Structure 1
Amino acid sequence: MHEIEPLITALAGHRPRRRRLRRRLKRAAVAAILRETGQGVEVLLVQRARRRGDPWSGDMALPGGRIDGVDAASASRAACRETEEETGLRLTRRSGIGRLSDRLTLDHRRRAPMIVSPFVYRAPADTGIRANHEIAGTHWLPLARLDENGHRDILHWRIGGLTVRMLCHDCGEGRRLWGLTLAILDELVALGR
């Protein structure tokens, strides 16, 4: 079972990898929002709404989005702004407990590299969620489940005419984590061990 205090301590000593050229590429920021329950720490996942042309339509993800002009000075500000827009949860710098490593991905709009910066927050006391049109649903996933054997599988993802085999995690009820979100959460879980 994962507890929040050891995670906070581990994050305080963690030195995440930051991509050197991150300020020259398109960027996005996501929020790993944690809450402590009687069964241990859980992380908030959002299920993206289904939209034509969206390669991640319907996928489980962390709340967040692109860093735009108003966020240029602070990627964590973008994670907070996007989280509030998508879920109604208001995050602040005081609820921030750490940062994870930058991830290099592909901006599918421009077919160019993009950097995603993940930040970790403690859930505010009032965790009522009001999902906007971008979100089909939300799910609190126990971090301990990511540590359990038997929930990993292979996902066959089609991109263009190519099928790619990707490691995925079964969250239950047909929900799967894979790709960037799974890599981010695997880094977080490793810190909690």
Structure 2
Amino acid sequence: MHELRPIERALAGYRPRRQRLRHYTRRAAVALVLRETRQGAEVLLVERAHRAGDPWSGDMAFPGGHVDAADEASASRAACRETAEEVGLRITRAEGIGRLSDQLTLDHRRRAPMVVSPFVYRLDDRRTPTLNHEITAYRWLALAWLDEPEHRATLRWQLGRLSLPMPCYDCGNDRRLWGLTLRMLDELLALARK
């Protein structure tokens, strides 16, 4: 079982990798929203709505989106804004307990690099998410569940004619955690195990 206090302590002393390109490329931010339950810490996951041309549609992910001018170039502010827009949970930077390493990916609309910055927040109450049109479902997932080896699987990812094996968590009902979300969760779990 993973509890929030040790995770907070680990994040307080953690120095995540920051992409040097982050101030010169398109940037996005996501919120790993954690809450404490009797079963230990849980993380909020969302299922993105299916949209034509969106390579992440239908994926299990964290609330988040692009950093724009309204965020005054603050990625953590963008993570808070996007969480409020997508799932109706108003979190603030004061509820932030740390950040994880930047992830370099591809902005598929522009065919250019994009940096995704993950921020970790603690939610101390039982607010219920209210989903907007970008999100079709949500789930609170126990971090301890992610430690069970039988939930780790492999999926086949199609890249043109190439079929690549990719690690994932099988969440049932044809839902899988993989890619950037998986890398962020693995980093969080490594900290939680220390």
TM-score greater than 0.5 by the shorter chain: yes
Equivalents in 1 of 2:128, 2:191: separation in Å?
A: 27
Equivalents in 2 of 1:172, 1:117: separation in Å?
A: 27
Establish whether residue 81 from structure 1 lines up as the match of residue 81 from structure 2. yes
Aligned to 1:19: 19
Give 1:82 deviation, angstroms.
0.3
Q: In structure 2, what residue type is equivalent to 1:65?
A: G
Equivalents in 2 of 1:143, 1:49: separation in Å?
A: 24
Aligned to 2:104: 104
Contact preservation (8 Å) 1:90, 1:124? no
**Secondary structure, in 3 states, of the residue corresponding to 1:16?**
coil
**Secondary structure, in 3 states, of the residue corresponding to 2:150?**
coil
Q: In structure 1, what residue type is equivalent to 2:182?
A: L
Equivalents in 2 of 1:69, 1:93: separation in Å?
A: 18
Contact preservation (8 Å) 1:100, 1:187? yes
Aligned to 1:113: 113
**Secondary structure, in 3 states, of the residue corresponding to 1:172?**
coil
Q: In structure 1, what residue type is equivalent to 2:61?
A: A
Superposition map of 1:139-150 within 5 A = 139-150=139-150
Give 1:74 deviation, angstroms.
0.9
* Superposed CA offset, 1:96-155 (max 9, x none): 100000000011001111000000001241421100000000001111111111111111
**5+ residue gaps in structure 1?**
none
Between stretches 81-90 and 123-132, larger displacement belongs to 123-132
State the number of aligned residues.
Answer: 193
Establish whether residue 165 from structure 1 lines up as the match of residue 191 from structure 2. no
Q: Which runs of 4+ in 1 moved over 2 A?
A: 159-164
Q: In structure 1, what residue type is equivalent to 2:159?
A: I
RMSD between superposed Cα atoms in Å: 1.1
Aligned to 2:182: 182
Q: In structure 1, what residue type is equivalent to 2:9?
A: T
Equivalents in 1 of 2:121, 2:175: separation in Å?
A: 23
Between stretches 57-66 and 142-151, larger displacement belongs to 142-151
Contact preservation (8 Å) 1:156, 1:163? yes
Aligned to 1:36: 36
Contact preservation (8 Å) 2:36, 2:124? no
Between stretches 160-169 and 3-12, larger displacement belongs to 160-169
Equivalents in 1 of 2:52, 2:163: separation in Å?
A: 19
Equivalents in 1 of 2:112, 2:167: separation in Å?
A: 23
Equivalents in 2 of 1:176, 1:72: separation in Å?
A: 34
Aligned to 2:122: 122
Between stretches 151-160 and 105-114, larger displacement belongs to 151-160
Q: In structure 2, what residue type is equivalent to 1:166?
A: M
**Secondary structure, in 3 states, of the residue corresponding to 2:32?**
strand
**5+ residue gaps in structure 2?**
none
Establish whether residue 137 from structure 1 lines up as the match of residue 137 from structure 2. yes
**Secondary structure, in 3 states, of the residue corresponding to 2:185?**
helix
Identity percentage over the alignment?
Answer: 66
Q: In structure 1, what residue type is equivalent to 2:48?
A: R
